[in-house]
Structures are given as C-alpha cells and as structure tokens.
Amino acid sequence: MRYSFVFSAIALFLAVPAVAAPPAVPDTPFIQEYRDFFTLDGRAGDVRALAVDGKNRVWAATAAGIYALKDGKTFTAMQTEEEAGPSFSAAAAPDGRVWIGAWNGLYHTTDKGTLEKVPAIQEPIGAVAASRSCIAAQGPQGLWLNRHGIWTKHTGTWANSAAALAFESDEIFWSATAHGVYRFNHAVPVRHLYSGDELLASEETAVAVAGDGTIWCGGMGGIDVYKDGSRIQSYTSREGLPNSDVRALAFHPDGTLWVCTALGAARLKDNQWSLRHGMRWLPSDDTRAVAFDKDGTAWVATAKGISAIRRRTMTLAEKADYYYDILLKRKVRDPWIVGISRLLTPGDVESSVHEDEDNDGEFTNHYMVMELFRHLVTGDPVALERAWKARDTMEQFQTITGTSGFIARTFVPVEWDSPENINPNRFHDRNRSYTAREIAEKQIRDPRMKCVEERWRLSADGKHLWKGDTSSDEMCGHFFGYFFFHEYGAKTEAEKKQVGDLAGRVMDYLMEGGFNWKDIDGESTRWGVWSPEHLLKNGDWRSERAINATELLAYLKITAHVTGNPKYEEAYRQLINDHGYLEYARAPKSMDPSDHTEIDTSLLVLILPALMTLEKDEAIREVYKEGLYQLFNQTKDQASPFYNFICAAYGVEDFDPEPCVKYLRDSPLDLIMWTVDQRQREDLNLVRWPELDKWQVDRLLPADERFTMRWDKNPYEAVAGDGGHRESTGVHWLLPYWMGRYFGFIEGAAD
C-alpha cells in the first residue's frame, strides 16, 4: 500500500496526543526504608542476638561477648576480658532491662547502661525471655526461673536445647528446642509439640507470640501458627515464605512479622511477604535475630555484623530531591556528561569517581530531557540552564569527531589513559588488535560482528579521547534529545535552529552512508545499520529489521520537523512507499523469545513519542499506534513508569498509573548497584522467560527486592548487579517521575 503525504516546511506545533488520562495519583507520604551497617571487629561480627533497653540502647550478644551501642555509631565491648566469651541470646524485659545469655551465665543491663551478672547462674544460657512477673532462662543444664527476685533452677524430662523462649502470659511461656516446642506453666511443661502432624519439623529455633495471642513457631521447614491450642496455619514456600530455614521470629510494633532466615529477613504484613537480603540491606544473608527500637528501626543480627533497617516518611517530591542531590554531587563530569560512577571501595560513595560508559550520550540525553520536564513542572530556570549544558555537550559529541556528522559514544580527558589513573576501570574497551583466528571465532556465529581495533581516537585539540563504533542506542538517545529539546527547551527561533542544525548534520551524515552509520574507517559501525539493503536483504539482520526500520523513520521525521527541510520528509516517504518500512513499525518489537531484549523496549520508547506526535496522516499514525500498543502490551506488566508513562502520554488508553507509582515509592534510596541474587529464594521459580539466554524469576518483584534498575535491563533477571562497585545516576527514576508530573499521572506533594 502506498501512502500519500501533505508536508509543510512550517514547523508543526507540538501537542501531546489527546488521550483520556486516568486520575492522577496523589503524592501522599509513604514509609521509605533505608539501612545503616554496623561492623564489629573479629569474632564480635558473628552476632547471635539483639535487644533494645528502655533507654533505646541496642545490646548485642556476639561470639566474642556482649556489646552495646551507646553513641549511635559504634558497638563497644561491655565485659572484661575474663568475662567475655560466646553469648547466645538477648531479651528486653517490660521494666526496661535487657537480659543476655552467655557462656558463663546470665547478665542484665542497668539504667546506667552497664552490665551486671546474675551470681546464682554459673552455667551457659542459650535462651532467655521476660514477662512482668517472671524471667526465664534456659541452657543445656536446665531451666532457671525468677519470681519475686529469687532464682530457682528446674530440671525435668523436657529438652534443654532451647534456642528461643517467649511468654504467652506472665506465667506461661514457650520454649523452642531441637526436639519440638514446649509450653510451660511456670516450671511445668503442659504441652509438647513434636510430631509431624503438629509441626513442619521438630527441630525448632524460633517462637514468638503475636498481639492477637497466636503462637508462631519456626525452624527448618517453615513456620507453624497455633491459636487456642490448634494449628491454624503453616507457612512454607508454597505460602510465600522466601526461605524455610527459619532462625528467629519477632513482631514489629506495627504488627509486621519479621522472620530471620538463611537468606535474609523476610516480613509478613497484610498476607504479603517481602524480603530484605543482599548487601543493599544486610551485611550477610545469614540472619540470626531482630529487635526493634522506639523509632521503629529493625536491628538485624547477622553473621557479619548488624544492619539497622530504618524508616522515614517521604513524598515522591522529597525523594526526587534526594536523588537529584546525589546526581549533582557525583554523576556530572565535564563538560556536562551524566553517567554512572565507579566506587573504588565497593559500597562507599565517598570513593566515587567518574568513568566512561558506551552510552554516555544516550543517558546524558535522558538527563537532559528530565531537566526539561522538571523545568516545565516547576518553572525552575536552573533546570533549563542545566538542560542547555547537556545540549551543548551533545553538540560536542558530534564536533569532537572532526567529521561532518558522526557522533561519538563518549569522550574523556586524555589523562584517563595515564598509568596514574586512580580508577583502573576507566577507559573501557581499549584499542587492541585482532588476529585472523580471533576474528573467525567471533564471526563464525555472527557474520555481522565488527572487530574494532581503534575505538578511541585523539581529539583535534589533543585534550580528549573520543570513542567510536557508535550504536543505534546512541542514535535513539540523541534523536530523543533533539525532539524534546526542540519542543520544550529551545524558546526562540535561533535556539530551535541550533537544534535543527545539529540534527541535520547527523542525519545528512547517515544519509550519505546510505542509511548506515559509517565510522571514520569508512565502514558501518557494529550496530549502526538501517539501510534497506542490509535490513531487508541480509538474513543476519532479520532480528533488527522491525525496530531499526521504525528507528530510521523516527530519525527522519524528527529531522524534518526540527529543520523544516523537505528532503528528510521525502526520504521518509520513500522508505515507506518503496521499502515497506511502515509495516515494520506496526509491530516494532520482536515477539521471538530468542530475540527478546529490554534494549529494544528502551529504544522504542525514545522514538515513538515523536512519531505519534509529528505524524498527521491518520492512516499512518494509526500504524504507529498499533506499534505503540504492541510494545505496551509486551511491557505493561513490568510496571515501568518510564515505559508506561510514555505509552500512556502518547496514545495508550486504559492505563493504570498506580503500579508505576508503587515502583517509584518502592525504589531504594540506595542507588548502589549491589548484586541481587534470587536463585536461592524458595518462593520463586527460575524460568527462561521472557529471554532465553539467562535465568529469570517467574514474577515481577518489588523495586526494593531487585537490582538497581536501568531501563535497558531485564527486571526479571535472577542475578544482576556488580557487587557494589558502581552507583546509578538516579535518572532512571527522575525522568519518569517528572514526566509523570507533567503528563498528570502524579500529583504534586501537598504543601
């Protein structure tokens, strides 16, 4: 089918397509969790139990003795060398004291923050608990009870391998042992849960009493819940428990159940499970105990120290300010390139240094567009000023190559190639040579492979090194920037001409190469191929046929709009009428699992807004709308605010912004790229979907249980992150947030 066109050289007036917008989500305050780590030296890092006293001091029972946090910064040893040794348990009493079981007896804290030892008990104590009228302490040699200030020892036929005690009432308590759970009335065992029809497993390590009086017992195998003497519920992976190796149970003051497991701290609230694991939340997944202070902070004992998982109330607007501050402090390098930074010491943001990435140009354009939307929403002139800095840097991405229109992937100071460079990871993909054998190895499975020996070139002024072999990712990012800056950043005709001149140079260079992106070696770059000769006549480009055809139509449409030059519209027409490129735009994202990649999704959302906005022929625009829906229907369940907000703003109806706003709320304040490994979670299945070449999990996890997101990454990946060696810019969050504000999906925070 041939399409007729009516084209005017007069710049089209930009209007976001009219779509029935859903009601805006209010920016109501929410609870934001974050953490602090506390490291204890040597064997003290092996923390077994924690408790908080009446003055909000945290006490720790460790392999090296009893420690206390008094200054809010450092845990201090509280015993003499003669007394210090393995400690096993800790419990807060209603009177404000903390009781701690150790290798040589039982200790309690004082109002002054000191320790006193119980003279009567000179034997190991493995579990302790306290009510208003009774204190219970149990160890391998028997059970000790204190009533009215008098300690008495009791022995009997019960098991003394107690790992936890919990009071049901002032006189009745439960003991979790390696041989079942006992219910004691004072010193008399009145019930013993042991058999398979009573417990998931008899080796119990945890017991807790909920506010409603239910008894929760945990061990290897999961959790059993008792009420009025009968088991009413069990929790295993089938019921959503992420790990069934349960070590401790405790109820937060807000009613949330915390479960310490071999794979982090699981929580159950409103019948929904969540998990805190990995270095984003814990110094070790081997968790042993949890205690809560008056502020609601959860203090988690692990095999390698303590994590304080804190809570603060935030709005999305406050969170945006928080991320933006990080961005300006650590993510902008001269002249105004925004990129991920390297942490020379993993997890230590004070060791942050800049480094290059393949797609610095693309992601700086993301930043630039974010500043434009921030300016549109807030009117802040500084946002527009910074967007201009990024735009001028994009100009330099082109001029630094010394060509008429080629653009660099990135550029860096020439000093980065120095042996004195403090960051050995800077200057990725150094120049190198390839042997014929190496080239054959690479091309045997992928004949398109280009073995680039000279990626980095010296700039004409000798001050920078710029990186070539620029990809379609970069092109989509730059044209995304040209389009939005022309509409929202450039205020005068002279400013708009600046944008048009740059886009025109880049497009002319691409057209001179026959719609292939020729590097300065005269050959197409690895991924810079859009010509009909390659896409339509070379079977090795079959996977990229639809998306690359759609990309090229967008590049031409944008250039025609920002320059007003009809030659780009004519080329656009020719690709549609003579080569059928429009039909590929009807379904631009491959449905083949072996071709699936989130990179395609992330690029399509950059270019479809321009096609949906600038195309005024309804028949053609309807095709683009089909493509937009095809993309949306594949990705909507990811609840990506970036994907879904753009799709909804530019043509998709029946869109629910709530899951996207949930992502924004759930996203951790910590932008460090910690490794998150889901493979040991028992509540998930490993699958080869939606991508075939890596393990993924079978359901979308909340943002705070995933790796630090970037939109060209697969949110279902079972293992992702880089061990805390890098920190994100936060633009992946800030861009959709400000878009959501502008398009009316998110309300501003109430004053």
Nearest residue to 143 (alpha-carbon basis) of 106, 95, 117, 168: 106
Domain count, the chain: 2
Q: What is the rounded average pLDDT of the residues 137-151?
A: 98
Tokens describing residue 4: 């007729």
Distance CA 27, CA 549 (A): 40
Q: What is the pLDDT of residue 424?
A: 85
Residue 11: pLDDT over 80: no
pLDDT one-digit tens code per residue, 326-344: 999 999 999 999 999 999 9
Residue 676 is assigned to a structural domain of this protein:
no
Residues 365 and 241 in one domain: no
Residues 260 and 176 in one domain: yes
Q: What is the rounded average pLDDT of the residues 494-505?
A: 99
Residue 469: pLDDT over 80: yes
Distance CA 483, CA 496 (A): 10
- Supply the range of the domain harboring residue 661: 316-669+733-749
Residue 687 is assigned to a structural domain of this protein:
no
- Count the Cβ atoms, other than its own, within 10 Å of residue 28: 12
**Number of helices (H) and strands (E), helices first, in the chain?**
15, 44
- Count the Cβ atoms, other than its own, within 10 Å of residue 236: 15
Mean pLDDT for the chain overall: 96
**Which of 314, 345, 371 marks a domain boundary?**
314
Q: Which residue has the tokens 């072996």?
A: 594
Residue 727 is assigned to a structural domain of this protein:
no
Q: What is the pLDDT of residue 749?
A: 87
* Confidence category of residue 16, pLDDT binned at 50, 70, 90: low
Residue 723 is assigned to a structural domain of this protein:
no
Q: What is the pLDDT of residue 17?
A: 55
Residues 135 and 274 in one domain: yes
Residues 291 and 402 in one domain: no
**Which of 295, 314, 333 marks a domain boundary?**
314
Q: What is the pLDDT of residue 427?
A: 87
Nearest residue to 702 (alpha-carbon basis) of 645, 748, 638, 751: 638
Residues 370 and 387 in one domain: yes
Residues 392 and 351 in one domain: yes
Residue 32: pLDDT over 60: yes
Q: What is the rounded average pLDDT of the residues 47-76?
A: 97
Tokens describing residue 15: 């209007």
Residue 401 is assigned to a structural domain of this protein:
yes
Q: What is the pLDDT of residue 12?
A: 34
Nearest residue to 186 (alpha-carbon basis) of 146, 150, 226, 213: 146
Q: What is the pLDDT of residue 448?
A: 95
648 backbone dihedrals φ, ψ, rounded to 5°: -70, -35
pLDDT one-digit tens code per residue, 368-383: 999 999 999 999 999 9
Q: What is the pLDDT of residue 22?
A: 86
**Which of 293, 314, 335 marks a domain boundary?**
314
Is the whole model's pTM more than 0.75, yes or no? Answer: yes
Residue 678 is assigned to a structural domain of this protein:
no
Q: What is the pLDDT of residue 175?
A: 99
Residue 9: pLDDT over 70: no
- Count the Cβ atoms, other than its own, within 10 Å of residue 290: 25
Residues 237 and 370 in one domain: no
Residues 321 and 309 in one domain: no
Residues 484 and 580 in one domain: yes
Distance CA 205, CA 220 (A): 8
pLDDT one-digit tens code per residue, 682-714: 999 999 999 998 999 999 999 999 999 999 999
What CATH number did the domain enclosing 447 receive? Answer: 1.50.10
Residue 252 is assigned to a structural domain of this protein:
yes
Q: What is the rounded average pLDDT of the residues 495-499?
A: 99
Which residue type does 25 have? Answer: V
What CATH number did the domain enclosing 287 receive? Answer: 2.130.10.10
* Confidence category of residue 19, pLDDT binned at 50, 70, 90: low
Residue 250 is assigned to a structural domain of this protein:
yes
Residues 172 and 204 in one domain: yes
* Confidence category of residue 70, pLDDT binned at 50, 70, 90: confident
Residues 639 and 490 in one domain: yes
Residues 287 and 328 in one domain: no
Q: What is the pLDDT of residue 420?
A: 86
